[in-house]
Amino acid sequence: MRRVAIVLVVLVLALGGLLATRLRMQERALRGPTGGSGEIEGTEVDLSSRISARVVRLHVKKGAAVKKGDLLVSLDCADTRASLSEAQERLIAAEEQARAAEASIGAARATQQVAGAARAASEAQAASLSAQRDATSRQASRLDKLTDDVALSSRDQTRASADGLAHQVEALRAQARASQAQVGAAGATWKASAAQAQAAHASARAATASVARVRLLVDECEIAAPRDAWVTELPHEEGELVAPGTTLVRLLDLSEVRATFYLPNAELAAVKLGAPALAVADAYPGEEFPGQVSTVALKAEFTPRNIQTRSDRDRLVYPVEIVLANRAGKLRAGMPVQVTLPGTERR
């Protein structure tokens, strides 16, 4: 009987000690810094192509570490490259047409200038000969007043010379009119050439845009890593035909990771954007990973239908996200961590 009593006393004392220890731990936790449990998340990047093509080669394997710019997947793009060659040939032809149109403009301008110069020269010669004709006509009139044979002979020569000059003046004026017509024709040709040049330059610009567009599609034939990361998924094998937008490679960037934990409504005032945070992972006991608060949710989760009492309000929780530098690469996606916010100890 005494032995049973001793055993009971020992059990009571042990249970009391455990209860006291549990109460002290709960009190320490209540007075400790704000925090919660979370799970490590990396940045996932799905890489795809804008074209439909066959997978020619996979340059990496699942689980491989890749650097920015590393070639990951090659696609069969013979048709796309042929389209690029065709577009480049069209661009060359359009540029040649534009140069020919510019040359036509230059030739038309030169013709117009030459015709204008010829018209000006004809008009100047006509004016000069017209003055000579007038002078000769006046001389012939003076000779008409004389009656001797010498005056009569000189008069006939002077009159003939005046008539010849009159015919030359008319011929020069006709030539000037012809030159003016050439000026008008050259102007019309210049305008037509200018319109053709404008159309040719527009065609060249369109061809340039077409080359740029097709070159962008050719660039889609090779999938390269946009950042340092790990290959987590290669959904397709070599030889498979993939549609535009199909995921070809999935990358996971763990250089900077995130963890989300939940704070109750009563502790929300203790957290601020940019506040320091510490995370401890089960895989690395005793090691702390520094970070900072990046997001505090504006809307509560797990909200009761009707909030009436203080206990109801305390059941509101808000997601809080922190970012952690992961230079050593120890933190992996899915790894559980315990997050605390230093400086938020409760008295």
pLDDT at 314 over 50: yes
pLDDT at 83 over 90: no
The pTM for the full model equals 0.60
Spatial CB neighbours of 126, under 8 Å, sequence gap ≥ 6:
169, 172, 173, 176
Question: 141 and 236 in contact (C-beta within 8 Å)?
Answer: no
- What distance in Å separates the CA atoms of residue 216 and residue 227, rounded to the nearest whole number? 20
- What distance in Å separates the CA atoms of residue 34 and residue 293, rounded to the nearest whole number? 12
Q: What is the pLDDT of residues 208-266, one digit of tens each?
A: 888 888 888 888 889 999 999 999 999 999 999 999 999 999 999 999 999 999 888 87
Q: What are the beta bridge partners of residue 259?
A: 40, 322
Mean pLDDT, range 58-86, rounded to an integer: 90
Q: What is the pLDDT of residues 125-155, one digit of tens each?
A: 656 656 665 555 555 556 555 555 545 555 5
- What distance in Å separates the CA atoms of residue 253 and residue 192, rounded to the nearest whole number? 61
- What distance in Å separates the CA atoms of residue 232 and residue 8, rounded to the nearest whole number? 58
Q: To the nearest whole number, what is the mean pLDDT of the chain?
A: 76
Q: Percentage of residues in the chain with pLDDT exceeding 90?
A: 28
pLDDT value, residue 150: 45
* pLDDT: which is higher, 103 or 70: 70
Q: What are the beta bridge partners of residue 320?
A: 261, 296
- CA-closest candidate to residue 232, choices 258, 253, 246, 260: 253
